[in-house]
Amino acid sequence: MSLSNLLEETIGAHLLRSGEWAKPVALYLALLKADPGETGVLDEVTGGDYARLAAGPDDALWSLPVEGNKQFANAVDLTFAAPTADWGRVSHFALMDAVTGGAMLAYAPLTVPREIYGNDPAPLFAAGDLKLTFAGHLSDFLAECIGTHLLRSGSWEKPQTITVGLQTDTGAEVANGGYSRLAAGPSDAAWTGPEDGNGQHANATTLAWPSPTADWGTVVTMELWDAAAGGNALVAIPLATVRPIVAGALAPNFQAGGISLTFD
Ranges of each domain in the chain: 2-151, 163-259
Task: Report how far residue 106's alpha carbon sits from residue 97's, in angstroms, rounded to the nearest whole number.
Answer: 10
pLDDT of residue 230: 97
- Using pLDDT thresholds of 50, 70 and 90, give the confidence band for residue 264: confident
Task: Report how far residue 252's alpha carbon sits from residue 219's, in angstroms, rounded to the nearest whole number.
Answer: 9
Q: What is the mean pLDDT of residues 3-27?
A: 96
Q: How far is CA 227 from CA 4, 128, 165, 261, in A?
A: 29, 35, 10, 19
Q: What is the mean pLDDT of residues 161-180?
A: 96
Share of the chain above pLDDT 70, in %: 100
CA–CA–CA angle 129, 150, 20 (5° rounding): 155
Res. 21: pLDDT tops 80: yes
pLDDT of residue 222: 96
- Using pLDDT thresholds of 50, 70 and 90, give the confidence band for residue 181: very high
- Using pLDDT thresholds of 50, 70 and 90, give the confidence band for residue 1: confident
The whole-chain average pLDDT of the chain stands at 95
> Which tens digits make up the pLDDT trace of 95-125?
999 999 999 999 999 989 999 999 999 999 9
Res. 13: pLDDT tops 80: yes
